[in-house]
Chains A and B, each alone.
Chain A
Amino acid sequence: MTSRQFLLIVAGAQGALLIALVTLIILNRWIRLRRSAKVDPRRIELDAVMLRWALGQADAEEVQRGLARLPVSVAIDALVTWSARVPGERWQELSRGLETRWWARVVRADARSARWWKRLECARFLAVAPTSHDIGRLLRLLRDRHPAVQLAAATTLERIDSPMLVAAALDQLPHLGPTVQAYYASVLKRARPAVLRHLAQLFRRLNDPRLPRIIEFAGRLDEPVLREPFTTLATHPDAEVRTQVARALGKFPHRESVAALGYLVHDEAWPVRAQAARSLGMIGDPTTVPAVREALRDPEWWVRLRAGLALTRFSTAGRNVLLEAEVGPHAEARDMAALILGLSTQALSEYAA
């Protein structure tokens, strides 16, 4: 083949591709228009039925018929939208009713699909309309290789109380990024008893490298039952564990928490000391003012900042310490005290956040 012939072929292919692309644009617009003309009225109709059903003026059967007339993805969107507005008992009735619908069966079967978006659709559906028969599917979806599927499946934990699912979610927790962990914490709040039981087991694995993440998560639950295990872990050899313990204990105003924090504020690792100073401020026990005053002279800037901010929470006693430090002999404590005393109330509240 000569180079001229090659170029001619390329030019021809380009021309054909150009025509194909323009056709694709036209077709895409036409299909979208047709689809919305067909689907939009049905969706509006379904919303009206859903509203009547939510008010007790229509039965679940009518809703199920409306859902069946929609494309699966639109039906799931509608379910997600309405799931937050309808009370639990009525919603469970709808979930049970959907179990026998053919389209819901197809969606459920997609839990094993090779295509991740199909599994995502299934997870989204089960997140709002699960039944006790879906535990196996949900376990599978919770361990899915696509993170979007895992996240959608985790949302189910808000609706279904299953120790097996909770254990699976908690086992995965340390492998997740901090943002996803926070999301899991928010969805697991509903399944508190099962979560606490499983956490109690995890806390016993002292050499588990996942322990800091588990404590971080447990701290987010604000659960008083966990105070005691946190206090026990204050002497753990891993500084990351102690940091998380120091952070978590600030939420539990108790003499044992205060004692543990009083110990942690002298820790060799500065992140632990900073967190302990912060938590002492959150508890605000007047007997801990001397320990926080000492932290204001810490060699690490962040510990001094946390101590300074903590002192503002001890009302007059804390303020007096700051005023003394502002004119005191310790240069770094003086600077930090001046800085903290110069902050507006608004700035202080933002720092406290």
Chain B
Amino acid sequence: MNALIHTTDVVILSYFLVLNTFYALLLVLAIPEIWEQTRLAEDEDFQRLMQSDALPPITILVPAYNESATIETSVTAILTLEYRNFEVVVVNDGSKDETLERMRHTFELYEVPRTYPEAIPTRPVRAVYRSRTRTRLLVVDKENGGKADSLNAAINASRFPLVIAVDADTLIEPDALLRLTRPFLLGARIAAVGGTVRVANGCTVRDGRVTDARVPRRFLPGIQVVEYLRAFLFGRLGWNRLGGSLVISGAFGLFRKDYLHAIGGYHPASVVEDLDLVVRLHRYLQERKIRYEIAFIPDPVAWTEVPESGRILSRQRERWHRGLIAAMWQYKGMLFNPRYGRVGLIAMPFFTFGEMLAPLVEVLGYVVTIVGLAYGAIDTSFALLFLLVAWGYGMLLSIWAVVLDEVSFRRYGRLGDLVRLLVYATFETFGYRQRTVWWRLKAFVNVWKRRQVWGEMVRKGFASTP
């Protein structure tokens, strides 16, 4: 028994050592990347670029399902973005509430015939509307088919070569589109670009714009601010230097439409459609030996409302992890496959072993430690020291993300916000982390039972925020 516990312990210790070394590598790689991106973001003369004809036209895809609380504010804010040439395609995915009615009333919609072929098959489109007051707006009303199906319908209806998927509850900063096109100006091989998603809870929102960025006082949304900072500011930035991330947030990502057509758009059956899409995009481009870049840039920002209750957060995290498991299983052929370059040799193994299996290993670690302590196979002081180091490392990564934000874009200017961020980064490891492990474990159970639950997100809406 003692030998088994010791062996398991060594395996777990080695796992964490390798994983944490990789995180440290991402962290190190994120430093020059954020330095370069900050320089480019500061140095660019956006006014000059905005006045030039060089900016590529963009279609903004907005899937909407039961979004009556936020739809008018969100669409109005999107329509007033600082960008020269764009259109907005909102897809009402058979909402059961008044989403379509509210848009019809606010934007004075009138029905027009459909003028595009169905390049990607979707659920039947009921009607297409244009607005009398907003010429850039096109609304597609279709039967319910899920977010991926809505995005495909929006891609079909789009006219421009670049498309950006934006959640209806997401608030895009006015110059975010302009910034997001920077890689297209600087590189000829860009296939997709992702921007930063930040937490809007606690912020002051006026007319669909975040006018004062604050860190929420409530623990659960507050801790998610740190999580988002960590995921975007060093996770994805670090991946830029390792051949591109597998994730471009579905809430804020710019794609070349011809590539989306080539891979058949979003998969309606996938649980986490953005991850699935990016993995397929990598696969398609690698198989055809097309030189490409999938970049993440930190300065374009979109704000999103995150769950404030544990129940809803647990469903979201369970779904995200279920999607990760499904994607890694579906595209297992890419794992360690040199044909897929760095994606097959670095990204896929990391996401499979470092992200997907992490909750299993962590729980196994807790169980083995408890059993080992009970049987006297592990020394108590050593176990506590190990826990301290493991948790300390997590804390260090979170605080590092706060530092990166602080030295680069510094969205949270107040000292109180900074202190709150540091407090959340410190206490995330105690209790919250274990809860997320539990939620992610449930994903394995649900995959085993083949459950396909999307989960619901209750939104408060931004319009009433002071």
Q: Is A148 an interface residue (CB 8 A)?
A: yes
Find chain A residues with CB under 8 A from B290 CB: none
In the complex, per-residue mask of B413-436: 1 if CB is within 8 Å of any chain A CB, else 0:
001001000100000000000000
CB distance from A7 to the nearest CB of B (A): 5
Are B188 and A180 touching (Cβ within 8 A)?
yes
CA distance A3 to B14 in the complex (A): 12
- Of residues 120 through 162 on chain A, the ones whose CB sits less than 8 Å from some CB of chain B are 120-121, 124, 147-148, 151-152, 155
Select which of A10, A80, A176, A185 is within 8 A of B389 by beta carbon.
A10
Q: Is B228 an interface residue (CB 8 A)?
A: no
Say yes or no: A25-B406 contact (C-beta < 8 A), given A11-B385, A182-B54, A339-B115.
yes
Q: Is A346 an interface residue (CB 8 A)?
A: yes
Closest to B186 in A: A147
Q: Is A260 an interface residue (CB 8 A)?
A: no
Closest to A121 in B: B43
Are B382 and A25 touching (Cβ within 8 A)?
no
Most buried by B among A7, A28, A120, A351: A7
Select which of B54, B187, B395 is within 8 A of A147 by beta carbon.
B187
Are B112 and A179 touching (Cβ within 8 A)?
no
CA distance A224 to B44 in the complex (A): 34
- Of residues 104 through 147 on chain B, the ones whose CB sits less than 8 Å from some CB of chain A are 110, 112-115, 117, 130, 135
Find chain B residues with CB under 8 A from A299 CB: none
CA distance A183 to B188 in the complex (A): 13
Select which of B39, B55, B184 is within 8 A of A177 by beta carbon.
B184
Are A177 and B395 touching (Cβ within 8 A)?
no
Find chain B residues with CB under 8 A from A175 CB: 188
Closest to A6 in B: B389
Are A18 and B396 touching (Cβ within 8 A)?
yes
Are A351 and B52 touching (Cβ within 8 A)?
no
Say yes or no: A148-B53 contact (C-beta < 8 A), given A301-B117, A342-B113.
no
Select which of A147, A178, A220 is within 8 A of B56 by beta carbon.
A178
Are A343 and B422 touching (Cβ within 8 A)?
no
Are A179 and B54 touching (Cβ within 8 A)?
yes
Q: Is A235 an interface residue (CB 8 A)?
A: no
CB distance from B373 to the nearest CB of A (A): 16
CB distance from B400 to the nearest CB of A (A): 6
Q: Is B185 an interface residue (CB 8 A)?
A: yes
Task: Compute the total of residue contacts between A and B using a CB distance below 8 Å.
Answer: 123
Find chain B residues with CB under 8 A from A7 CB: 382, 385-386, 389
- Of residues 294 through 352 on chain A, the ones whose CB sits less than 8 Å from some CB of chain B are 301, 305, 338-339, 342-344, 346-347, 350-351
In the complex, per-residue mask of A195-212: 1 if CB is within 8 Å of any chain B CB, else 0:
000000000000000000
Find chain B residues with CB under 8 A from A351 CB: 115
CA distance A129 to B263 in the complex (A): 47
Select which of A24, A178, A301, A350 is within 8 A of B403 by beta carbon.
A24
In the complex, per-residue mask of B384-409: 1 if CB is within 8 Å of any chain A CB, else 0:
01101100110110011011001100
Q: Is B45 an interface residue (CB 8 A)?
A: yes
Are B422 and A22 touching (Cβ within 8 A)?
yes
Are A21 and B115 touching (Cβ within 8 A)?
no
Select which of B13, B396, B406 is within 8 A of A14 by beta carbon.
B396
Q: Is B40 an interface residue (CB 8 A)?
A: yes
Most buried by B among A10, A80, A344: A10
Select which of A84, A148, A343 is within 8 A of B43 by beta carbon.
A148
Find chain A residues with CB under 8 A from B187 CB: 147, 177
Find chain A residues with CB under 8 A from B288 CB: none
Are A343 and B54 touching (Cβ within 8 A)?
no
Closest to A11 in B: B389
Are B185 and A180 touching (Cβ within 8 A)?
yes
Find chain B residues with CB under 8 A from A155 CB: 48
Are A25 and B403 touching (Cβ within 8 A)?
yes
- Of residues 1 through 50 on chain B, the ones whose CB sits less than 8 Å from some CB of chain A are 13, 36, 39-40, 42-45, 48-49
Q: Is B170 an interface residue (CB 8 A)?
A: no
Are A179 and B181 touching (Cβ within 8 A)?
yes
Closest to B85 in A: A353
Find chain B residues with CB under 8 A from A182 CB: 52-56
CA distance A32 to B408 in the complex (A): 11
Select which of A8, A28, A339 is within 8 A of B113 by beta carbon.
A339
In the complex, per-residue mask of A100-121: 1 if CB is within 8 Å of any chain B CB, else 0:
0000000000000000010011
CB distance from B445 to the nearest CB of A (A): 33
Find chain B residues with CB under 8 A from A339 CB: 113-115
Select which of A11, A117, A180, A346 is within 8 A of B54 by beta carbon.
A180
- Of residues 20 through 39 on chain A, the ones whose CB sits less than 8 Å from some CB of chain B are 21-22, 24-25, 28-29, 32
Select which of B45, B114, B188, B406 is within 8 A of A80 by beta carbon.
B45
Select which of B113, B185, B382 is within 8 A of A343 by beta carbon.
B113
Say yes or no: A120-B39 contact (C-beta < 8 A), given A183-B54, A344-B110.
yes
Are B112 and A344 touching (Cβ within 8 A)?
yes
Most buried by A among B110, B114, B190, B392: B392
14 additional contacts (CB under 8 A) given A21-B403, A124-B45: A4-B385, A7-B386, A21-B396, A22-B399, A29-B415, A151-B185, A177-B189, A177-B190, A179-B54, A182-B53, A182-B55, A185-B53, A342-B112, A344-B130
